[in-house]
């Protein structure tokens, strides 16, 4: 496992270096009408961090400055400072009044009152309440909303407020992308049905029926495709849910279901869930969802009655290999005997702390833990554990609070660069009546608007074809432009459905079209293989949205064969047709239970 962690560090280094090089080469001047979002002022902790270090220390001085201005009744200066703070954090900020608890005891479930390490200025209950009221008023004056996330009294009174500005338009609504995985019958679809519809389950999976897309899924109760669901949060942090009359009104939630366009219009933040298949038969679909969807986190569902079994371990291993943060949800706690629940919980903790994972499990059993954990989740060493019931609703409020505060996926300018040429990765293709061919995917760089001339490809010969963006939608709401980091659907003008496939890219028309690659070199690590790999060995390659069989044409290993744990420089060749890949892209290949991890180092 030490080899895996070292290799992942090397992959990340190559990935970052090549991305910086490509951004330098592709840097261009933004159009005068371009809207560039403010970069995040918070830095992401490195994967090697082992202590809970506050990522918001630099903003605490700004908080105290705003509070001092409010106390002195300098309202205009306070509003200006508050607007500056919100702009710095993409229009969303958790503002804390009073002393802040030390994170180690908080995350470990220890008593806080006598724990050392409290930070911030201590205030009386009256001062905390008065400042919270003044801050809410200032937030209203600048056009935003302030909602109370947490209010604690006692010896150390404190309050946490969510300050949020409404997005200028649907096109600029922030989004968090989550991939939901887990073993069969672990409660993935049921949990998503309860989260996005608002009505609790009846104990027999009734809440999941509205999520299924195919007849055989309804008959078997098992997801076989990548289902997409969204959960919107308003400016005040309230979930946008259908008009059910109560938590058990499943029929009302189904009948009054809001469309994605309506949810998008009412939301200040959207959480997008990819409901991935849990059966081993659909592992390739699950892998494609994890590699092509660019998720910010993986939500691993574990049934409390069954334990950490089957494909749950497989999905956790894949998430760890791809270096994606993991959230664990232990479901069905209402129907599980206490001794079995304790056994499952201990099993989860043991696996997370094992040398292969090296995660610090944090049980989210209070709102304060949920609020504080979101600011430290990105360091990838913490693993939140939610114990929930879709029948009684236990734990769901903590999960919703956590999701509401997760950092957006589309504003990470280290990954998604606006000031670069357009690069759009196609993940879905449809033929829509009276519209034509529609593609869905993620914009990795640049921006696009309706009417732009674009190139899509490569085709079977490695060529790119020209077309025009007829229209576009984001979460089924019509928009006229999109920028890097966003997931958007494009309608292509006069393009046949058969000419477009998953894994293609869309770029702007230019004098030098991109080149497709048939052969490439990669640094790989064999995670598992029961025999040996040698020349002409074939496996399914997942590289972003690219999914195609590749063949090993040569390797630099001294023995000429690869076994479990071996590292080597390997030359690959696509079997069917060339693809658009870049140096620094991460790759995962499999054949049955065989798995390998790597990074593209050279195009041949």
Cis peptide before 458 (omega within 30 of 0): yes
Task: Place 516 in a pLDDT band, splitting at 50, 70 and 90.
Answer: very high
Task: Place 329 in a pLDDT band, splitting at 50, 70 and 90.
Answer: very high
Tell me what the mean pLDDT of segment 550-562 comes to: 89
> Among 24-38, 153-167, 173-187, which stretch is predicted with the lowest mean pLDDT?
24-38
At how many degrees (to 10) do helices 396-405 and 188-197 cross?
A: 70
What three-state secondary structure class fits 351? helix
Tokens of 547: 């999914």
Question: What single-letter DSSP state applies at residue 284?
Answer: H
Task: Place 521 in a pLDDT band, splitting at 50, 70 and 90.
Answer: very high
CA distance 545 to 423: 12
CA distance 6 to 8: 5
Tokens of 413: 């300018």
**Cβ(431)–Cβ(413) under 8 Å?**
no
Residues 6+ apart with CB under 8 A from 377: 297, 325, 384, 406
- Domain 423-508 is classified in which CATH homologous superfamily? Translation factors (2.40.30.10)
For CA atoms 523, 446, 233, 136, the dihedral sign is: positive
CA distance 87 to 84: 5
Cite the DSSP H helix spans in 256-321: 260-266, 283-292, 311-321
Task: Place 600 in a pLDDT band, splitting at 50, 70 and 90.
Answer: very high
Q: What is the dihedral of CA 567, 571, 573, 578, to 10 degrees?
A: 110
Query: For residue range 38-78, what is the model confidence (pLDDT) as tens digits?
Result: 333 333 333 333 344 444 446 778 888 899 999 998 989 99
**Given strand 158-164, what is the order of strands in its sheet?**
92-98, 158-164, 145-152
Q: What is the pTM of this model?
A: 0.86
Task: Place 37 in a pLDDT band, splitting at 50, 70 and 90.
Answer: very low
Longest Cα–Cα distance of the chain, Å, equals 76
Q: What are phi and psi of 38, to 5 degrees?
A: -70, 140
Question: What single-letter DSSP state applies at residue 156?
Answer: S
> Among 53-57, 363-367, 433-437, 527-531, which stretch is predicted with the lowest mean pLDDT?
53-57
| CATH architecture of the domain covering 170-405 | 3-Layer(aba) Sandwich (3.40)
CA distance 146 to 131: 12
Task: Place 257 in a pLDDT band, splitting at 50, 70 and 90.
Answer: low
Q: Where are the domains of the chain?
A: 2-26+516-603, 57-164, 170-405, 423-508
Tokens of 234: 């308003």
pLDDT above 90 covers a percentage of the chain that reads: 44
Judge if 2-26+516-603 and 423-508 fold alike in CATH terms: yes
**Cβ(516)–Cβ(565) under 8 Å?**
no
**Cβ(242)–Cβ(257) under 8 Å?**
yes
Q: So what CATH class is 2-26+516-603?
A: mainly beta
CA distance 372 to 158: 13
pLDDT for residue 13: 81
């Amino acid at each position: 496992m030490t080899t895996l962690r070292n290799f992942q560090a090397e992959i990340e280094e190559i990935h970052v270096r090549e991305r910086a090089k490509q951004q330098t080469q592709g840097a261009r001047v933004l159009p005068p009408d371009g809207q560039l979002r403010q970069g995040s002022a918070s830095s992401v902790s490195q994967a090697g961090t082992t202590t809970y270090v506050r990522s918001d220390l630099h903003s605490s001085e700004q908080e105290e400055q705003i509070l001092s201005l409010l106390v002195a009744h300098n309202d205009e200066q306070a509003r200006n400072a508050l607007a500056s703070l919100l702009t710095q954090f993409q229009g969303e900020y958790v503002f804390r009044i009073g002393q802040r608890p030390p994170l180690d005891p908080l995350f470990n479930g220890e008593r806080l009152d006598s724990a050392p390490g409290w930070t911030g200025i201590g205030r009386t209950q009256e001062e905390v309440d008065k400042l919270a009221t003044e801050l809410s008023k200032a937030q209203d004056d600048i056009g935003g909303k302030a909602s109370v996330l947490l209010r604690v009294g006692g010896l150390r009174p404190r309050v946490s407020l969510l300050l949020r500005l409404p997005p200028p338009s649907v096109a600029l609504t922030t989004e968090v992308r989550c991939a939901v995985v887990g073993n069969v019958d672990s409660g993935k679809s049921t949990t998503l049905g309860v989260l996005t519809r608002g009505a609790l389950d009846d104990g027999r999976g009734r809440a999941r029926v509205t999520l299924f897309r195919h007849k055989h899924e309804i008959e078997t109760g098992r997801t076989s495709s990548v289902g997409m669901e969204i959960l919107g949060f308003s400016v005040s942090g309230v979930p946008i849910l259908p008009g059910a009359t109560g938590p058990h009104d499943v029929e009302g939630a189904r009948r009054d279901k809001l469309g994605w366009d309506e949810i998008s219009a009412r939301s200040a933040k959207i959480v997008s869930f990819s409901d991935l298949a849990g059966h081993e038969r659909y592992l390739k679909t699950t892998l494609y969802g994890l590699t092509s969807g660019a998720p910010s986190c993986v939500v691993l569902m574990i049934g409390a009655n069954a334990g950490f079994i089957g494909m749950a371990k497989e999905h956790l291993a894949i998430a760890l290999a791809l270096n994606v943060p993991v959230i664990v949800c232990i479901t069905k706690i209402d129907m599980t005997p206490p001794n079995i629940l304790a056994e499952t919980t201990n099993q989860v903790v043991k696996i997370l702390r094992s040398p292969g994972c090296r995660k610090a499990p944090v049980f989210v059993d209070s709102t304060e833990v949920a609020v504080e954990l979101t600011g430290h989740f990105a360091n990838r060493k913490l693993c939140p554990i939610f114990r929930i019931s879709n029948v009684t609703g236990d734990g769901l409020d903590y999960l919703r609070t956590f999701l509401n505060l997760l950092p957006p996926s589309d504003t990470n300018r280290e990954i998604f660069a606006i000031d670069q040429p357009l690069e759009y990765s196609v993940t879905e293709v449809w033929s829509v009546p009276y519209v034509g061919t529609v593609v869905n995917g993620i914009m990795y760089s640049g921006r696009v608007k309706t009417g732009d001339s674009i190139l899509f490809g490569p085709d079977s010969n490695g060529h790119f074809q020209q077309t025009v963006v007829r229209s576009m939608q984001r979460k089924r709401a019509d928009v006229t432009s999109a920028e890097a980091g966003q997931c958007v659907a494009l309608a292509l003008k006069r393009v046949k459905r058969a000419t477009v496939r998953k894994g293609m890219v869309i770029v702007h028309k230019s004098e030098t079209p991109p080149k497709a690659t048939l052969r490439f070199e990669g640094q790989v690590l064999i995670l598992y293989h029961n025999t040996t790999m040698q020349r002409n060995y074939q496996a399914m390659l997942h590289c972003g949205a690219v999914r195609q069989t590749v063949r090993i044409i040569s390797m630099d290993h001294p023995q000429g064969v690869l076994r479990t744990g071996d590292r080597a420089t390997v030359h690959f060749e696509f079997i069917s047709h060339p693809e658009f890949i870049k140096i620094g892209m991460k790759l995962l290949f499999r054949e049955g239970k065989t798995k390998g991890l790597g990074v593209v180092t050279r195009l041949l």
